[in-house]
């Protein structure tokens, strides 16, 4: 099969490699679409201390089952499926409590095992028992490749809930910020505001959402927020980019009883922040962490996209073939639009 293999940081090559074997109790998947995530870009350029080379990246995947090992209830060869990229043990305490994204023995496709930037993927038995979502035969594979990032937003807003009539401020208007905005409005937020500096993303957000979109370089966030909320401040703040983390300043943008979500992983050098504990105490501010998504949230994201309750097709601004993966990675690296998808 053909695969885009990361051989070392910054060195990605198209290679012909042997087809993977069907895992015991698992399946062989023909990849139909795999979207590019910011994590792919980060790992490609910076590597990771736990990454073993060569590695096939890509974890936002849709594919068709070519072969099954054994009888798997509800699935058959030829089925189109969307894949939750986690490989969880299913037996540890977090898994038993429905938080399999925090599995103590978690492995992630496209990081610990090979991912979707290849023609074929070996799916372990664990992935068939949890996280393999059956799709209609005529489903838009490139659109359904966005299920995993949407599921991550579901996870973020499950911990840091958006309620009816809330004022919501999203820091960063990339694909994740846009999905958070769509989800917040679905949950009844009165107004969603997005801070974004890239002109093309601002244009796309204004055209496809009803959010108030502004460039924080034009005016201080505190002044813009005061004008949009009649001086009340935000009920919820979600950090959707490492460039605008939750910090002391952002907590001062929250109304009493406000909630902040540390959704995006902090950039190097920004792992530690000073927070005003007195403000958190006296204003009853809550700060939530959010990492990945559960297999159940992944299934819920599939339903949201198939039912068109979340309209996300406009987020795909570049589609390429596997042989053109460099174009997709460049498009995402430069943040030239929103999402890039490798289509097969």
pLDDT band at 61 (very low <50, low <70, confident <90, very high): very high
- The per-residue pLDDT of the chain, averaged, comes to 95
**Which pair of structure tokens corresponds to residue 297?**
């949230």
Q: What is the mean pLDDT of residues 307-321?
A: 98
Q: Could you tell me the two tokens for 10?
A: 């910054």
Query: Is residue 274 predicted with pLDDT exceeding 90?
Result: no
Q: What distance in Å separates the CA atoms of residue 340 and residue 342, rounded to the nearest whole number?
A: 7
Q: What's the rounded Cα separation, in Å, for the pair 12 and 45?
A: 10
Angle at alpha carbon of residue 44, lines to 38 and 46, rounded to 5°: 95
Task: State yes or no: pLDDT of 304 exceeds 80.
Answer: yes
pLDDT mean over 159-187: 98
> Taking Cα atoms as reference points, which of 59, 32, 36 lies closest to residue 137?
32
Among residues of the chain, what percentage have pLDDT more than 90? 90
Tell me, what's the pLDDT at 275? 87
Domains of the chain from N-terminus onward: 2-150+293-343 (3.90.180.10), 161-289 (3.40.50.720)
Is residue 273 very low, low, confident or very high in pLDDT (cuts 50, 70, 90)?
confident
At 215, the pLDDT band (50, 70, 90 cuts) reads very high
Which pLDDT does position 299 carry in this prediction? 97
pLDDT at 266 > cutoff 80: no
- Residue 49: pLDDT band (50, 70, 90) is confident
| Residue 270's pLDDT band (cuts 50, 70, 90) | low
What is the C-alpha separation between 165 and 102, in angstroms, rounded?
31
pLDDT at residue 129, rounded to an integer: 87
Dist. CA 202–CA 196, nearest whole Å: 6
* Rounded to 5°, angle at Cα 15 from 86 and 335: 60
Q: Which pLDDT score is estimated for 48?
A: 80
Distance CA 339, CA 342 (A): 10
Q: Note the pLDDT tens digit of each residue in 110-140.
A: 999 999 999 999 999 999 988 899 999 999 9
The mean per-residue pLDDT over the stretch 292-311 comes to: 98
Packed helices 199-208 and 175-186: angle between N→C axes, nearest 10 degrees: 20
Q: Model confidence at 94, in pLDDT bands (50, 70, 90)?
A: very high
pLDDT tops 90 at residue 87: yes
Q: Residue 15 has which token pair?
A: 């290679």
343 is written with which tokens? Answer: 């289509």
What mean pLDDT comes out for the span 95-112?
Answer: 96
3-state secondary structure of 213: strand
Contact by Cβ (8 Å): 244, 194: no
191-195 and 212-214 as β-strands: parallel, antiparallel, unpaired? parallel
Cis peptide before 80, with omega less than 30 degrees from 0?
Answer: no
pLDDT classification of 50: cutoffs 50, 70, 90:
confident
Give the contacts of 258 (CB within 8 A, at least 6 positions apart): 233, 234, 235, 236, 237, 283, 285, 286
Give CA–CA dist 57/52, Å, rounded. 11
Query: Cα-flanking dihedrals φ and ψ of residue 77, to 5°?
Result: -60, 135
> pTM (2 decimals)?
0.96
pLDDT at residue 100 greater than cutoff 70: yes
Residue 192 has a pLDDT of 98
């Amino acid at each position: 099969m053909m695969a885009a293999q990361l051989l070392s940081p910054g060195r990605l090559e198209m290679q012909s490699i042997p087809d993977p074997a069907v895992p015991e109790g698992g399946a062989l998947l023909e990849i139909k679409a795999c979207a590019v995530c910011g994590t792919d870009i980060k790992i490609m350029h910076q590597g990771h201390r736990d990454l073993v080379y060569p590695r096939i990246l890509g974890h936002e995947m849709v594919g068709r089952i070519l072969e099954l090992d054994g009888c798997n209830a509800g699935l058959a060869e030829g089925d189109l499926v969307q894949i939750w990229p986690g490989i969880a043990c299913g037996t540890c305490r977090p898994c038993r409590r429905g938080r399999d994204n925090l599995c103590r023995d978690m492995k992630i496709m496209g990081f610990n095992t090979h991912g979707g930037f290849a023609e074929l993927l070996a799916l372990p038995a664990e992935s068939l028992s949890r996280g393999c979502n059956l799709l209609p035969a005529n489903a838009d594979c490139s659109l359904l490749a966005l299920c995993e990032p949407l599921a991550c937003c579901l996870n973020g807003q499950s911990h840091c809930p958006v309620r009816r009539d809330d004022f919501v401020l999203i820091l960063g208007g990339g694909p994740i910020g846009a999905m958070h905005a769509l989800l917040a409005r679905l949950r009844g937020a009165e107004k969603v505001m997005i801070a974004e500096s890239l002109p093309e993303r601002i244009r796309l957000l204004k055209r496809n959402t009803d959010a108030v979109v502004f460039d924080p370089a034009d005016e201080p966030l505190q002044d813009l927020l005061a004008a949009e909320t009649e001086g009340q401040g935000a009920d919820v703040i979600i950090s959707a980019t490492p460039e605008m983390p939750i910090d002391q300043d952002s907590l001062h943008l929250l109304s009493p009883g406000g909630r902040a979500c540390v959704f995006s992983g902090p950039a190097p050098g920004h792992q530690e922040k000073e927070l005003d504990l007195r403000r958190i105490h006296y204003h009853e501010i809550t700060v939530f962490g959010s990492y990945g998504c559960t297999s159940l949230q992944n299934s819920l994201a599939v339903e949201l996209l198939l039912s068109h309750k979340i309209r996300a097709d406009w987020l795909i601004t570049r589609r390429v073939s596997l042989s053109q993966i460099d174009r997709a990675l460049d498009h995402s690296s430069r943040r030239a639009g929103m999402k890039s998808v490798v289509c097969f």
